[in-house]
Structure 1
Amino acid sequence: MLIDKWWKGDQSVTQSTQRPNIVFIFADDWGRYANAYAKFEGPDSINALIETPNFNRVVDEGAIFTNAHVPVPSCTPCRSSILSGTYFWETGLGAILEGGRWDESIPTYPLILEEKGYHIGYTYKVWSPGIAEDAPHGGYRAKYEPSGNKWREFSIEATKLVPEMGVEAAKEVLYDETRRNFASFLEDVPEGDPFCYWWGPVNTHRVWEKGSGKDLWGLDPDKLKGKMPDFLPDVHEIREDFNDYLGEAQAVDAGIGIILEELDNIGELDNTLIVISGDHGIPGFPRSKANLYDIGTQVTLAARWPQNIQPGKVIHEFVNLMNLAPTFLEAAGETPPDQMVESLLPLMTASTSGESSFGSGYVITGRERHVALSQQDGKPYPSRAIRTQDYLYIRNFAPDRWPSGHPGELIDPNIVDPEKMAELGAFRGMRSSVYHDLDGGPTKEWLLTNRSKPDVKPKFDLCFGKRPAEELYDLKSDPDYLINVAGDPEYSETVKELSSKLLKTLQDRNDPRLEGENCKFEHPPFAGPVEAKWYEERYSQIEDRKRRARANSSKHLKSQ
């Protein structure tokens, strides 16, 4: 096959005359949980307990990133940022979750590639919740889900089938769903055209089957003893909850294997840039999702592209997932729009570690509103952070607000009765009537029920209590970010330096948060009650999606 080369800055990219396919595997709520990371963490790490052979294969045949972070640890704004290649605060109402709307004037990498001749498509989740769902990737016209989406609740659906057919056969039913969905996309690609595909499983988002980590995947929850972050009580109930999540991560890995296999079957595996990651950390655990600590922002990231990415490459530079949009465009031979951030392509394709000048040794993350009524007045919990090799500095712009949401009735420490917890909705489903920004589940239930006990209260207060305007953690001595040293005179110069770097980025990228009381994120439609119209449109959108799914499934079955 003929080989061409084009130049991006000072980096040469080798590519066949057929433009590369782009496949992005992006799991909901999947933090930095893959066995390949145990190599960097040691045998006592959580990642040493799980098996992710397909992610590991991509790492062995491509590159792994050890310091990858999301721009914002909340589904919709994170995805807004990644699809547009900009900071989340630059995406209009895409910067919030509940009440989010996509601005179709914002360029996104899938739609740019479509204009340039790529066939685009996706399965499961791309951009949601929001209006209009998945719009940055073509909306419903680009959706390929004829075999359904039972993968959404993998452990729940598999568990239903186990009595009838056994564990492995039950999982195969769901594997076949992903295989058929992907095959339906591949069948639609015009001969000779490159394609851009997004596989977005959501099973790592709650809810999942209690005990499924052990029952479906053979993971022992009590092997997590002594391995979870120190701010979590090390009790069986929380270990089991974490363990069940790790089982869902192994399901994602099985899906990765299916995508790789199908690409290989059609002879396109080695002409495809494959990138794998997740949109933020573990849900239902405090200080994670919707928080700017590592457990909330740090994620898996690996890439495979033979002839361009050296096998076994390890990339330690700090990267932000919003850098992926320009990366995909440059890999396809296209010039990213001026507003996009820096591409990762030179870093990925550099033959030596010193060959690329990417980055500045840190990443900037942030958040605005997650759940609309998390604060009683519908306001956000606004924060920005800078993460370097040794430090995490967080600026909380409204320290008078509750970081995990208002406690509601549970502001009274004497309310601990489990039945009362259920009445308050503290652990029924994903949303709760208290601490709204923390998804419901066994961990939240246990923490709320036991929050007043002497050995639990310090950890509960650390996780759920109000936070000061500035936080600084010395990660060399405090990897679990337990001790805030922002007020320690010994660290005053560090605070000044990191605050200055953070402020410069916010100024350079016109972050509205710097406008004080005039900040748009403090006013409707970014804050306050979400209009009823938004919920009506979202409900109508969901019902329309179900109707189309039924019609497509029926059509697909008739064609077989």
Structure 2
Amino acid sequence: MNGSISSRRWFLKQVAAGVAVFPAARLIGGVGEARVSNEKQSESAGAEKASRKRPNILLAISDDHSYPHASAYGCEFVNTPSFDEVARVGVLMKNAFCPAPQCSPSRASLLTGRNIWQNEEAGTHGSYFPKNWPVYTELLEQAGYHVGYTGKPWGPGDWRTKGWDKNPVGRGYNKAKLKERPTRGISYLDYAENFNLFLGDRDPDQPFCFWYGGFEPHRFYEYGSGEGERDDVDVPGYLPDNETVRTDLLDYAREIEHFDDHLGRIIEKLKEIGEWENTLVVVTGDNGMPFPRAKANVYAAGIHVPMAVCWAGEVPARSEMMTDFVSFIDLAPTFLEAAGQAVPDTMSGRSFLAELRSGKAGRVDASRGFAVAGRERHTHARADNVGYPARSIQTDEYLYIRNFKPERWPMGNPRDPYDQWAADIDGGPSKKVVLEDPESKFYELAVAKRPAEELYDLSKDPDCVDNIADDPKYANVKSELWERLKGILAEQEDPRVMGNGDVFDSYPRMRGTMRKYPGFKKREYNPEFMK
């Protein structure tokens, strides 16, 4: 574990010296042109030449990991040399976004190339995964790729009922386990050794598509397990700055470093077998960190994720970040194009392989100036298992949020007698600190009811704590962003703007504790529920 503060400071000196320097590139203002349907593949990226070896695809995806918590971004309380190597060899992305601040719907969107409101039950947490649309893993398997995963695939949820013969991510490789779990929070799986087992099953020269799904840094953590100086911790403005929260953030950082350690071993294996330069690698996190006002919220901390991409034989290295907005729905088209496969019309995302190959930093494609996201149900925090529907659009300057049910409690009802309120916030020391002080602003930010519209000026308020939606000075900005977001949602037939949004509340929740109290029932899908 690369956790000592001395090694962390040494590493940051190397960053400052230019070993992995990624200074912030000039940001381009305004909202980009919306392109929400799949377009013709770029001629410059073209089909693979017949003589060219098809690339391997490696996705390394951590669990509950917010931007900018990687040392390549200059974050001082986490040390991620493997993530940083991918960024140094290829591209560090400044504006990567997940489609939902929850693992299950976010991962479904990554697989289908579609936003959560297009994925029916898979657009909410812990329900079914319909077999209505192709997923990139299955398409690559049909094209001759060896496909598999280790760790966390798509989930939680039920894929069997809808006709899948295996998890949509592929065949699981979770046999190898660590001899000893370092802490209570860190997974017992030996991810890197499971990657070796996966490689052992492929035919010689067969390209592979592998999903390394770390369970880290999902809670729970062993309190005080994180190493480093608390003074180096950057406490966001929506959390109290105290010893408990700083300790909790260091514990979170240690989990990220464990994920990064296994990524490093996987990279070394690729180099050992001569596949490093022929592997398209994407390293990211599935949604924001498990702290109040981050995970399960469409604020920046819930949907803005780290991302580094490399393909040593094809994608030129940059000394500065790319600032194009990229969503998880763009990954499936990118992987398919790199593999020389057609991108299905069902995918709303569009490949950014041409931008990666361009060798340019900053804003490569002027149309990539925004990202959209949304959420429905997360846990069992509200009566009758209903969710908290929200949609958002984020640009360089602003984040706009539309809450479709502002009468509901966003994290759960504080007056619920069954002690499940705030269940949409993962348990942990930071949550406990926030909830113990109902008079504090942090309590209000975490659990209070929210208005139908929220707007944040990210240049002044990157932590999204000062809602300016009612400020007359921003009336035009608010109106423009809502119209743009509403147009995208309508084009993609989001039930929330098509008049049948309550269908999301009819989808069953297949996993997790189901609350038993008067009026509660586990719903099965029923269109009559909408009437």
- Under a length normalisation based on structure 1, what TM-score does the superposition of the two structures give? 0.79
The residue that corresponds to 2:172 in the other structure is 143
Q: Contact conserved, 2:281 with 2:311, CA < 8 A, in 1?
A: yes
Pairing 1:53–2:78 present: no
Q: 1:132, 1:363 → 2: CA distance?
A: 28
Shift of 1:267: 1.1
Q: Contact conserved, 2:221 with 2:252, CA < 8 A, in 1?
A: yes
The residue that corresponds to 1:486 in the other structure is 469
The residue that corresponds to 1:22 in the other structure is 57
Pairing 1:122–2:129 present: no
Q: Which of 253, 258, 262 in structure 1 is aligned with 2:260?
A: 253
Higher mean displacement: 519-528 or 195-204: 519-528
Q: 1:296, 1:366 → 2: CA distance?
A: 10
Q: Name the amino acid aligned to 2:487.
A: K
Q: Contact conserved, 1:399 with 1:469, CA < 8 A, in 2?
A: yes
Instruction: Report the 3-state secondary structure (helix = DSSP H, G, I; strand = E; otherwise coil) of the residue aligned with 2:271.
Output: helix
Shift of 1:203: 2.3
Q: Contact conserved, 2:138 with 2:168, CA < 8 A, in 1?
A: no
Shift of 1:485: 1.0
The residue that corresponds to 2:205 in the other structure is 192
Q: 1:212, 1:69 → 2: CA distance?
A: 29
Shift of 1:62: 0.5
Pairing 1:11–2:11 present: no
The residue that corresponds to 1:64 in the other structure is 92
Q: 1:135, 1:74 → 2: CA distance?
A: 22
RMSD: 2.7
Q: Which of 212, 229, 240 in structure 1 is aligned with 2:225?
A: 212
Q: Which of 311, 326, 332 in structure 2 is aligned with 1:305?
A: 311
Q: 1:339, 1:475 → 2: CA distance?
A: 33
Instruction: Report the 3-state secondary structure (helix = DSSP H, G, I; strand = E; otherwise coil) of the residue aligned with 1:12.
Output: coil
The residue that corresponds to 1:36 in the other structure is 72
Q: 1:513-524, aligned counterparts within 5 Å?
A: 513-516=496-499, 519-524=502-507
Q: Which of 389, 395, 410 in structure 1 is aligned with 2:396?
A: 389
User: Residues 23 and 254 from structure 1, CA distance in 2 versus in 1: closer, same or farther, beyond 3 angstroms?
Assistant: same
Shift of 1:532: 8.7
| Greater fraction of residues in helix | 1
User: Residues 516 and 477 from structure 1, CA distance in 2 versus in 1: closer, same or farther, beyond 3 angstroms?
Assistant: same
Q: 1:280, 1:157 → 2: CA distance?
A: 18
Q: Contact conserved, 2:239 with 2:442, CA < 8 A, in 1?
A: yes
Instruction: Report the 3-state secondary structure (helix = DSSP H, G, I; strand = E; otherwise coil) of the residue aligned with 1:393.
Output: strand
Q: 1:39-438, aligned counterparts within 5 Å?
A: 47-98=75-126, 100-132=127-159, 138=167, 142-148=171-177, 155-156=183-184, 177-214=190-227, 219-224=228-233, 227-283=234-290, 285-312=291-318, 314-340=321-347, 341-353=349-361, 357=365, 359-371=367-379, 373-409=380-416, 433-438=420-425
Q: 2:168, 2:455 → 1: CA distance?
A: 41
Q: Contact conserved, 1:213 with 1:246, CA < 8 A, in 2?
A: yes
Instruction: Report the 3-state secondary structure (helix = DSSP H, G, I; strand = E; otherwise coil) of the residue aligned with 1:234.
Output: coil
Q: Name the amino acid aligned to 1:76.
A: S
Q: Contact conserved, 2:41 with 2:351, CA < 8 A, in 1?
A: no
The residue that corresponds to 1:166 in the other structure is none
Shift of 1:408: 3.7
Instruction: Report the 3-state secondary structure (helix = DSSP H, G, I; strand = E; otherwise coil) of the residue aligned with 1:500.
Output: helix
Any unmatched runs of 5+ in structure 1? 1-6, 39-46, 159-170, 411-423, 426-432, 535-560
Q: Name the amino acid aligned to 2:369.
A: G
Shift of 1:51: 1.3
Q: 1:232, 1:73 → 2: CA distance?
A: 18
Q: Contact conserved, 1:154 with 1:208, CA < 8 A, in 2?
A: no
Q: 1:67, 1:296 → 2: CA distance?
A: 13
Q: Contact conserved, 2:508 with 2:524, CA < 8 A, in 1?
A: no
Instruction: Report the 3-state secondary structure (helix = DSSP H, G, I; strand = E; otherwise coil) of the residue aligned with 2:497.
Output: helix
Q: 1:50, 1:136 → 2: CA distance?
A: 39
Q: Name the amino acid aligned to 2:71.
A: N
Q: Contact conserved, 1:346 with 1:358, CA < 8 A, in 2?
A: no
Q: Contact conserved, 1:93 with 1:526, CA < 8 A, in 2?
A: no
Shift of 1:354: 8.6
Q: Choose between structure 1 and 2 for higher RCO, CA contacts under 8 A separated by at least 6 residues.
A: 2
Q: Contact conserved, 1:111 with 1:138, CA < 8 A, in 2?
A: no
Shift of 1:239: 1.0
User: Residues 83 and 210 from structure 1, CA distance in 2 versus in 1: closer, same or farther, beyond 3 angstroms?
Assistant: same
Q: Percent identity?
A: 37
Q: 2:191, 2:274 → 1: CA distance?
A: 19
Q: 1:139, 1:391 → 2: CA distance?
A: 35
Q: 2:413, 2:431 → 1: CA distance?
A: 14
Q: Name the amino acid aligned to 1:320.
A: S
Higher mean displacement: 233-242 or 13-22: 13-22
User: Residues 156 and 526 from structure 1, CA distance in 2 versus in 1: closer, same or farther, beyond 3 angstroms?
Assistant: closer
Cα displacement string for residues 272-324 of structure 1 (whole angstroms, at most 9, x for unaligned residues): 101100111111x1110010111111111111102321112621011111110
Q: Contact conserved, 1:104 with 1:136, CA < 8 A, in 2?
A: no
User: Residues 60 and 8 from structure 1, CA distance in 2 versus in 1: closer, same or farther, beyond 3 angstroms?
Assistant: same
Q: 2:204, 2:390 → 1: CA distance?
A: 48
Cα displacement string for residues 371-425 of structure 1 (whole angstroms, at most 9, x for unaligned residues): 1x21123211010001010001100011111111222458xxxxxxxxxxxxx77
Q: 1:236, 1:255 → 2: CA distance?
A: 29
Q: 1:258, 1:530 → 2: CA distance?
A: 46
User: Residues 518 and 101 from structure 1, CA distance in 2 versus in 1: closer, same or farther, beyond 3 angstroms?
Assistant: closer
Q: Name the amino acid aligned to 2:137.
A: P
Q: Name the amino acid aligned to 2:229.
A: D
Cα displacement string for residues 319-368 of structure 1 (whole angstroms, at most 9, x for unaligned residues): 11111001000000001100212111111111335995364411001101
Any unmatched runs of 5+ in structure 2? 1-39, 511-518, 526-531
User: Residues 345 and 275 from structure 1, CA distance in 2 versus in 1: closer, same or farther, beyond 3 angstroms?
Assistant: same
User: Residues 449 and 505 from structure 1, CA distance in 2 versus in 1: closer, same or farther, beyond 3 angstroms?
Assistant: same
Cα displacement string for residues 442-479 of structure 1 (whole angstroms, at most 9, x for unaligned residues): 11112222334xxxx22211221001000011112222
- Under a length normalisation based on structure 2, what TM-score does the superposition of the two structures give? 0.83
Q: 1:437, 1:108 → 2: CA distance?
A: 28
Shift of 1:11: 1.9
Q: Contact conserved, 2:238 with 2:445, CA < 8 A, in 1?
A: yes
User: Residues 492 and 532 from structure 1, CA distance in 2 versus in 1: closer, same or farther, beyond 3 angstroms?
Assistant: closer
The residue that corresponds to 1:430 in the other structure is none
User: Residues 521 and 332 from structure 1, CA distance in 2 versus in 1: closer, same or farther, beyond 3 angstroms?
Assistant: same
Instruction: Report the 3-state secondary structure (helix = DSSP H, G, I; strand = E; otherwise coil) of the residue aligned with 2:324.
Output: coil
User: Residues 352 and 209 from structure 1, CA distance in 2 versus in 1: closer, same or farther, beyond 3 angstroms?
Assistant: same
Q: Name the amino acid aligned to 2:376.
A: E
Q: 1:384, 1:258 → 2: CA distance?
A: 38
Q: 1:267, 1:197 → 2: CA distance?
A: 16
Shift of 1:150: 8.1
Q: Name the amino acid aligned to 2:142.
A: E
Q: Name the amino acid aligned to 1:132.
A: W
User: Residues 308 and 358 from structure 1, CA distance in 2 versus in 1: closer, same or farther, beyond 3 angstroms?
Assistant: farther
Number of equivalences: 471
Instruction: Report the 3-state secondary structure (helix = DSSP H, G, I; strand = E; otherwise coil) of the residue aligned with 1:254.
Output: helix
